[in-house]
């Protein structure tokens, strides 16, 4: 499976009726990519298009619509793409191959135990505790600010964050945040605590501070004694299925 | 890069039932901090806990006796100015002070002006 970060996206445009030996070219390319264990590939059939012959290929123009354009896309690491390109270059006799730099933001597979992440698989020793103070009513693009901050931290794969709701307080805005009668108030103080490696603090502060209109971020040195980023034991059934999948793929 | 200043983090642990001059202690502390011009204070309520009296503080049907945590982040001088006042008010509980770095974000409007 792909990991987050820089990757290459390859797009191949061919005609539906172009052959490669006995098969359709698009089908041959797809099977070739699977054979090479590319992370994933998609074949799309566009509505219409034209190529170098300047003939518009669309269902209206062609009664049997067998000369339709086909588009094959896949994303993989730069090394993998480098390895595959000569073969693809050889296969595509009529069409176009395009490679572009891309950035994988999220690559997940349902039901699969994620591989331990490198940034925070297990840390113990010196760490930083970041406390972020804000108000419950603070918003960022009409979304509660504390939710926006937690989502952003999750996307950054920060080890963990906890949101605390206070009952009383004041701060930069100089008005008292207090819990109303029957706990109905929606403007209580919020404190978010985040613990991660010291090396990630700058990155976290630079991401969170611009999201805040006012408030306070407090950094302190802490010591983490045990911190394992792992999912709970999976049931045996899932485990077995998992190995089956990987063995059939291998 | 945001400016980081050295500061002190003051934490006070006591019970929700603690009072000062007939008002809840945490409310009295917030008022005192406002009067002294302290930049901010946050009162958090815990779920359950115990302290000196080894009696478990938790929510009961009518009595509010959950643990309270009060945090203040301020410059060392201001914390020093605040400490004698707090010592007068808090008779049972715990006070902890630690060194921190703070980044103050104040009155910054990041939103673009709505035109028209």
Query: How many domains in chain B?
Result: 1
Most confident among A75-89, A123-137, A169-183 (mean pLDDT): A75-89
Q: Taking all residues of chain A, what is their mean pLDDT, rounded to a whole number?
A: 80
Is A191's pLDDT higher than 50? yes
**Contact with chain B for residue A208, Cβ under 8 A:** no
d(CA A88, CA A97): 8
d(CA A52, CA A17): 16
CB A136 within 8 A of CB A146: yes
Give the orientation angle of helix A201-208 with respect to helix A145-155, to 10 degrees.
140
Torsion of CA A208, A177, B68, A228, to 10 degrees: -20
Q: Taking all residues of chain B, what is their mean pLDDT, rounded to a whole number?
A: 84
Question: What's the confidence (pLDDT) of residue A141?
Answer: 87
d(CA A22, CA A33): 18
Whether residues A220 and B1 touch (CB distance < 8 A) is answered with: no
Nearest to B30 among A170, A219, A220 (CB): A170
Residue B116: pLDDT band by 50, 70, 90 thresholds? very low
Bigger pLDDT: A238 vs B58: B58
Residue-range definition of the domain harbouring residue B24: 5-101
Instruction: Report DSSP state, residue B110.
Output: -
B86 within domain boundaries: yes
Q: For residue A41, what are the β-bridge partners?
A: A74
Whether residues A167 and B107 touch (CB distance < 8 A) is answered with: no
Instruction: Report DSSP state, residue A240.
Output: H
Question: What's the confidence (pLDDT) of residue A114?
Answer: 54
Q: Which of B97, B93, B102 is nearest to B71 (CA)?
A: B97
Q: Which of B46, B53, B54 is nearest to B16 (CA)?
A: B46
Is A244's pLDDT higher than 50? no
d(CA B104, CA A216): 5
Q: What is the pLDDT of residues A3-37, one digit of tens each?
A: 888 999 999 999 888 888 888 999 999 999 999 99
Q: What is the pLDDT of residues A161-174, one digit of tens each?
A: 899 988 888 886 66
Q: Which of B82, B64, B71, B53 is nearest to B18 (CA)?
A: B64
A231-238: which pairs have CB atoms within 8 A and are 24 or more residues apart?
A231/A113, A231/A114, A234/A113, A238/A111
Q: What is the pLDDT of residues A139-163, one digit of tens each?
A: 888 889 999 999 999 888 888 889 9
B107 within domain boundaries: no
Bigger pLDDT: B107 vs B76: B76
Once rounded to an integer, what is the mean pLDDT over residues A127-139?
90
B-interface mutation test, from A168, A179, A193, A220, most B Cβ less than 10 A away? A168
Whether residues A169 and B40 touch (CB distance < 8 A) is answered with: yes
Spell out the domains of chain A, with CATH numbers in brackets.
5-104 (3.30.70.120), 125-224 (3.30.70.120)
Q: Which of A133, A123, A109, A90 is nearest to A199 (CA)?
A: A123
B112 within domain boundaries: no
Once rounded to an integer, what is the mean pLDDT over residues B17-33?
91
- Evaluate if pTM is beyond 0.90: no
B114 within domain boundaries: no
Is B43's pLDDT higher than 90? yes
Once rounded to an integer, what is the mean pLDDT over residues A179-205?
81
**Burial class of residue A204 in the structure, from the number of CB atoms within 10 Å of its CB (0-12 exposed, 13-18 middle, 19+ buried):** buried
Once rounded to an integer, what is the mean pLDDT over residues A200-216?
90
Give the angle B43-B84-A191 at the CA atoms, nearest 5°.
Answer: 20
Question: What's the confidence (pLDDT) of residue A231?
Answer: 46
Q: For residue B49, what are the β-bridge partners?
A: B57
Phi/psi for B22 (5° steps) reads 80, 0
d(CA B46, CA B16): 9
Q: In this structure, what token pair is assigned to residue A195? A: 């613990």
Question: What's the confidence (pLDDT) of residue A232?
Answer: 46
Question: What's the confidence (pLDDT) of residue B112?
Answer: 47
Instruction: Report DSSP state, residue B98.
Output: E
Question: What's the confidence (pLDDT) of residue A122?
Answer: 60
The SS3 assignment for B79 reads: helix
Q: What is the pLDDT of residues A71-123, one digit of tens each?
A: 999 999 999 999 999 999 999 988 899 999 999 988 877 776 655 554 455 65
**Contact with chain B for residue A169, Cβ under 8 A:** yes
The SS3 assignment for A157 reads: coil
**Contact with chain B for residue A216, Cβ under 8 A:** yes
Question: What's the confidence (pLDDT) of residue A66?
Answer: 67
B41 within domain boundaries: yes
Asked which of A116-120, A198-202, B10-14, B81-85 is least confident by mean pLDDT, the reply is A116-120
B75 within domain boundaries: yes
**Cα atoms in the 13 Å half-sphere on the side-chain side of B19:** 5
B72 within domain boundaries: yes
A-interface mutation test, from B3, B40, B110, B114, most A Cβ less than 10 A away? B40
Task: Give the end-to-end CA distance of chain A in Å, rounded to a whole number.
Answer: 13
Residue A69: pLDDT band by 50, 70, 90 thresholds? confident
Whether residues A214 and B107 touch (CB distance < 8 A) is answered with: yes
Question: What's the confidence (pLDDT) of residue A234?
Answer: 43
CATH code, domain with B72: 3.30.70.120
Question: What's the confidence (pLDDT) of residue A158?
Answer: 85
d(CA A186, CA A135): 9
Nearest to A209 among B27, B30, B105 (CB): B105
Question: What's the confidence (pLDDT) of residue A148?
Answer: 92
Question: What's the confidence (pLDDT) of residue A196?
Answer: 87
Question: What's the confidence (pLDDT) of residue A131?
Answer: 94
């Amino acid at each position: 499976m792909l990991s987050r970060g820089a990757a290459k996206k390859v797009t191949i445009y061919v005609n539906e009726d172009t052959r490669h030996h006995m098969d359709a070219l698009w089908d041959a390319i797809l099977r070739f990519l699977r054979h090479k264990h590319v992370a994933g590939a998609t074949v799309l059939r566009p509505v219409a298009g034209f190529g170098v012959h300047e003939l518009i290929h669309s269902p209206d123009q062609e009664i049997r619509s067998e000369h339709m354009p086909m588009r094959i896309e896949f994303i993989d690491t730069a090394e993998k793409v480098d390895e595959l390109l000569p073969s693809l270059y050889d296969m595509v006799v009529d069409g176009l191959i395009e490679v572009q730099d891309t950035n994988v933001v999220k690559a997940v597979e349902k039901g699969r135990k994620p591989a331990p992440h490198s940034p925070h698989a297990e840390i113990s020793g010196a760490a930083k505790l970041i406390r972020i103070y804000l108000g419950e009513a603070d918003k960022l693009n009409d979304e509660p600010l504390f939710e926006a901050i937690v989502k952003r931290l999750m996307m950054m794969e920060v080890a963990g964050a906890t949101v605390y709701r206070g009952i009383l307080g004041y701060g930069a805005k100089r008005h008292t945040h207090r819990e109303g009668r029957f706990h109905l108030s929606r403007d209580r103080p919020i404190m978010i605590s985040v613990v991660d490696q010291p090396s990630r603090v700058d990155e976290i502060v630079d991401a969170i501070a611009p999201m805040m209109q006012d408030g306070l971020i407090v950094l302190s040195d802490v010591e983490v004694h045990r911190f394992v980023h792992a999912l709970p034991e999976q049931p045996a059934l899932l485990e077995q299925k998992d190995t089956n999948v990987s063995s059939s793929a291998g | 890069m945001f400016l980081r200043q050295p500061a002190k983090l003051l934490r006070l642990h006591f019970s929700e039932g603690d009072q000062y001059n007939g008002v809840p202690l945490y409310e009295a502390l917030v008022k005192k901090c406002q009067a002294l011009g302290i930049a901010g204070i946050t009162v958090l309520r815990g779920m359950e806990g115990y302290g000196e009296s080894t009696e478990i503080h938790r929510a009961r049907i009518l009595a509010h006796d959950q643990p309270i945590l009060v945090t203040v982040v301020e410059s060392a001088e201001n914390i020093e100015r605040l400490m004698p006042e707090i010592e007068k008010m808090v008779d049972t509980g715990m006070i902890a002070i630690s060194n921190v770095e703070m980044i103050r974000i104040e009155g910054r409007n990041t939103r673009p002006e709505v035109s028209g």
